[in-house]
Amino acid sequence: MSLPLLEMHDIAKWFPITSGLLQLHTGDIRAVDGVSLTVHRGETLGLVGESGCGKSTLGRVAVKLMEPTRGHVRFDGQPVDRLKGMELMAFRRRAQIVFQDPYGSLNRRMTAGAIVGEGLHIHRLARRSQVRDRAAELLQRVGLADTDVARYPHEFSGGQRQRIGIARALAVSPELIVCDEPVSALDVSIQAQIIELLRDLQRELNLSYLFIAHDLAVVRHISHRVAVMYLGRLCEEAPRDVLYDEPLHPYTRVLLAAVPEPDPKVPLRPQALPGEVPSPANPPPGCRFSPRCPVAIDVCRREQPQWRELAPGHFVACHVAG
Amino acid sequence: MAEATLTDRAPAQIRRGYWRDVWLRLRRNRLATAGLAYVILLVLVALFAPRVLHTDPIVQDLEASKQPPSLQHPFGTDLYGRDIFARVVHGTRIALIVGSIATLVAIAIGVTLGGIAGFFGGWIDHLTIFFYSVVATFPGLLFILALTNALPPAGEPRLSKVYLAIGLSSWVGMCRLTRNLFRSFREQEYVLAARALGAGPLRIVFVHMVPNMMGFIVVALAGGFAGAIAAEAGISFLGFGVTPPNPSWGVMVSEGRSYLQSCWWMIVCPGVATLLAVFSFNLLADGLRDAVDPRHETL
């Protein structure tokens, strides 16, 4: 395959824990601890994991809102770490992010037109007099009315606000959009509409998405490949249908079992995991999932599993699988 | 293009801005509205009453000494026969001037320092926290008195030094507030979105952060006003503030102290004036706090 658009190699992001009067460094929250992934042009990589597993941190590292503690990010073959000035601005145009919270992600003091027009303004993509018209076009493109430019965020519903957030990202004609749980805060019926919109835009503009979500059902309809994350590490990554049909990692299996079937005849069979997610400040030795894993053996508690390719494109980090 | 369904409609079709929203929420709060009305009355009195009212607040009339409230002297007269109503009205002006100048000084220092600390973080932040924590440990009244004596003499004796001293002793709260606001706003998703769009620090601070903080700063301003008026009254009562012939509420309470048994109006009138002013500014501040940030309203 051609050169990937986004390439993240062995990314770690640790947040220092300090305590006491002198702010002594007493440990680290290992939000992300050695994750590698790639996103190709026109492709959607779904990234799934429960709250606090580090998926949002990874998304923020991808668009350089945070610097990784270790590892490096390449965008279109170019290292992103040392970008400055004009090069950084060029990168900002090409990689955008859409956030989860439809309330917190829009500045409530700005009109929809000003919010969407900001990127045009910053990157001088339109003359001052044309910004408003261009913003109106963008709003129409995401399914709002052109007259909505003059309205404020609180005048819109959650789904409409999320559309404004998408229009803001689209304004600078990006190639990659990190979607950080863009539908998690919305009603199910509206989730489907937003996902449909994102798919339309992808087809039309050849966009690449890193689509972050906490449940596998949402990701299924939009992703080409899906990666599953647990406590700062990847467990499994596979082409979409492979992952849903033949999951190899025990954690993926548990997650899939938790997805309700839209068929009343199929009985619910949720498998509750024993225990809690360990603290990312003090992760267990060996496989991070081992304390809760139903099939763990001795070696799982001692050694970290290798990232193995068990079938073409199907990677898994598990001693037991395969 | 997918059409918005019935469930995906905006909650309201009314077009309105942020401050209009704040105003509508404030108006729903009766106590706060009453506070605001009284504050407006005070401002009007301070601006116009001294011109309309012809009774001089300073000229003495020893024959009319210690008269109880009457039609001619609605609040009675003091030891020197001065009309207490005229003095209370003129005192309003002093109280509001002290409030304005002291809050402006506190805002100028607090917001600037807090903004720098909160925006840059790191050692600048640590240093600022250390500095304001030290200042915060000084006992308020003593600090003001010490400052009043330490500051070089200014035009109008003592009075303007008192404004400054109150301002210099009350910026800590404003600084802490601004610093914390900057810290928390840095992580707001719309600020992150602006950064991802390539917005520079000036744009982020002045387009995204400051306009969203104005509400909180206005709340602190109203609260600061209340504090400054109370502080001025306290200092003048102790005899370190406004010099006696001038009609400050604190001075009047201080003068009336010895006649509490016989001439209650001498202390009650300026006392109630101070109380109402401080109370209404505090009511307004509390109401504004809820109006500005409805999500934190007590449920």
A165 touches chain B (CB under 8 A): yes
Range of lowest pLDDT (A179-188, A255-264, B161-170) = A255-264
Q: Whose CA is closest to A41, among A99, A1, A92?
A: A1
Asked if residue A241 is part of any domain, the answer here is no
Residue in A with minimal Cα distance to B208: A107
| Whether A211 contacts A219, CB under 8 Å | yes
Cβ–Cβ below 8 Å for A155 and B8: no
Phi, psi of A246, deg, nearest 5:
-130, 65
Cβ neighbour number for residue B17 with a 10 Å cutoff: 11
Cβ–Cβ below 8 Å for A99 and B16: no
The number of angstroms, rounded, from the C-alpha of B57 to the middle of its chain's C-alpha atoms is 25
Of B5, B7, B196, the CB nearest to A96: B196
| Whether A163 contacts A194, CB under 8 Å | yes
Alpha-carbon gap: A312 to the closest alpha carbon of chain B (Å)? 35
User: Using a CB-CB distance cutoff of 8 angstroms, which residues of chain A are in contact with residue B196?
Assistant: 63, 65, 92, 95-97
- Going by DSSP bridges, is the β-strand pair A314-316/A308-311 parallel, antiparallel, or unpaired? antiparallel
A106 touches chain B (CB under 8 A): yes
Asked if residue A146 is part of any domain, the answer here is yes
- How far is CA A223 from each of CA A15, A146, A309, A317, B9, rounded to the nearest angstrom? 30, 30, 20, 21, 28
Cβ–Cβ below 8 Å for A105 and B190: yes
Query: Which pLDDT value is given to residue B290?
Result: 80
Q: Whose CA is closest to B193, among A6, A162, A144?
A: A162
| Whether B229 contacts B55, CB under 8 Å | no
Q: Give the largest CA-CA distance in chain A.
A: 68
Alpha-carbon gap: B132 to the closest alpha carbon of chain A (Å)? 16
Tokens 């489907």 correspond to A192
Phi, psi of A291, deg, nearest 5:
-60, -20
Query: Which pLDDT value is given to residue A314?
Result: 93
Query: Which pLDDT value is given to residue A271?
Result: 64
Query: Which pLDDT value is given to residue B1?
Result: 41
Residue A186 has pLDDT above 90, yes or no: no
| Whether A142 contacts B4, CB under 8 Å | no
Cβ neighbour number for residue B238 with a 10 Å cutoff: 13
Give CA–CA dist A109/A154, Å, rounded.
Answer: 10
pLDDT tens digits for range A26-45: 888 889 999 999 999 999 99
- Express as a percent the part of chain B with pLDDT over 90: 5
Any idea what the Cα angle at residue B18 is, between residues B12 and B23, rounded to 5°? 90
**Is residue B174 helix, strand or coil?**
helix
- How far is CA B284 from each of CA A154, B37, B273, B287, rounded to the nearest angstrom? 25, 9, 16, 5
Please give the mean pLDDT across all residues of chain B: 79
Cα R_g (chain B), whole angstroms:
23
pLDDT tens digits for range B225-256: 888 888 888 887 887 766 667 778 877 877 77
- Going by DSSP bridges, is the β-strand pair A24-39/A208-213 parallel, antiparallel, or unpaired? unpaired
Both tokens of B140, joined, read: 């308020």
| Whether A106 contacts A167, CB under 8 Å | no
User: Using a CB-CB distance cutoff of 8 angstroms, which residues of chain B are in contact with residue A123?
Assistant: 197-198
Residue in A with minimal Cα distance to B190: A105
CB pairs under 8 A between A and B: 104
List A residues 184-223 in contact with B (Cβ-Cβ < 8 A). Answer: 187, 189-190, 193, 196-197, 200
Domain that holds residue A136: 6-20+27-230
CATH number at residue A129: 3.40.50.300
pLDDT tens digits for range A309-318: 998 999 999 9
Asked if residue A136 is part of any domain, the answer here is yes
Residue B2 has pLDDT above 50, yes or no: no
**Is residue B177 helix, strand or coil?**
helix
- Express as a percent the part of chain A with pLDDT over 90: 54
pLDDT tens digits for range A64-118: 999 999 999 999 989 998 888 889 999 999 999 999 887 889 998 888 999 999 9
Residue B37 has pLDDT above 80, yes or no: yes
Residue in B with minimal Cα distance to A193: B2
Q: Number of structural domains, chain A?
A: 1
Query: Which pLDDT value is given to residue B153?
Result: 62
Paired with A230 in beta bridges are A233
A261 touches chain B (CB under 8 A): no
Asked if residue A153 is part of any domain, the answer here is yes
Say what the ipTM of the complex is.
0.89
Chain B residues whose C-beta is within 8 A of a chain A C-beta are: 1-5, 7-18, 21, 126, 188-190, 192-199, 203, 207-208, 211-212
Provide the residue count of chain A. Answer: 322
| Whether B215 contacts B293, CB under 8 Å | yes
What is the C-alpha end-to-end distance of chain B, expressed in Å?
A: 40
Query: Which pLDDT value is given to residue A267?
Result: 65
Alpha-carbon gap: A308 to the closest alpha carbon of chain B (Å)? 34
Range of lowest pLDDT (A256-260, B63-67, B251-255) = B63-67
Residue A127 has pLDDT above 90, yes or no: no
Cβ neighbour number for residue B128 with a 10 Å cutoff: 19
Cβ–Cβ below 8 Å for A189 and B5: yes
- HEC states along B217-281? HHHHHHHHHHHHHHHHHHHHHHCCCCCCCCCCHHHHHHHHHHHCCCCCHHHHHHHHHHHHHHHHH
Q: Whose CA is closest to A161, among A226, A107, A92?
A: A107
pLDDT tens digits for range A41-70: 999 999 998 888 889 999 999 999 999 999
The number of angstroms, rounded, from the C-alpha of B78 to the middle of its chain's C-alpha atoms is 29
**Cβ contacts of A246 within 8 Å, gap of 6 or more:** A238, A314
Specify the amino acid at residue B156. E
The structural domains of chain B, ordered by start, are 19-55+97-296 (1.10.3720.10)
Asked if residue A55 is part of any domain, the answer here is yes
| Whether A24 contacts A206, CB under 8 Å | no
A122 touches chain B (CB under 8 A): yes
The number of angstroms, rounded, from the C-alpha of B151 to the middle of its chain's C-alpha atoms is 23
Any idea what the Cα angle at residue B101 is, between residues B96 and B102, rounded to 5°? 95
Residue in B with minimal Cα distance to A114: B207
DSSP labels, B75-138: T-B-TT--BHHHHHHHHHHHHHHHHHHHHHHHHHHHHHHHHHHHHH-HHHHHHHHHHHHHHHHS
A147 touches chain B (CB under 8 A): no
Q: Whose CA is closest to A312, among A45, A1, A48, A9?
A: A1
Of A109, A118, A197, the CB nearest to B212: A109
pLDDT tier at B10, thresholds 50, 70, 90: very low
β strands within chain B, DSSP E: none
Q: Whose CA is closest to A28, among A305, A250, A278, A279?
A: A279
Range of lowest pLDDT (A174-178, B85-89, B104-108, B175-179) = B85-89
Q: Whose CA is closest to A222, among A242, A249, A203?
A: A203
| Whether B283 contacts B32, CB under 8 Å | yes
DSSP classification of residue A273 = P
Residue A167 has pLDDT above 80, yes or no: yes
Asked if residue A121 is part of any domain, the answer here is yes
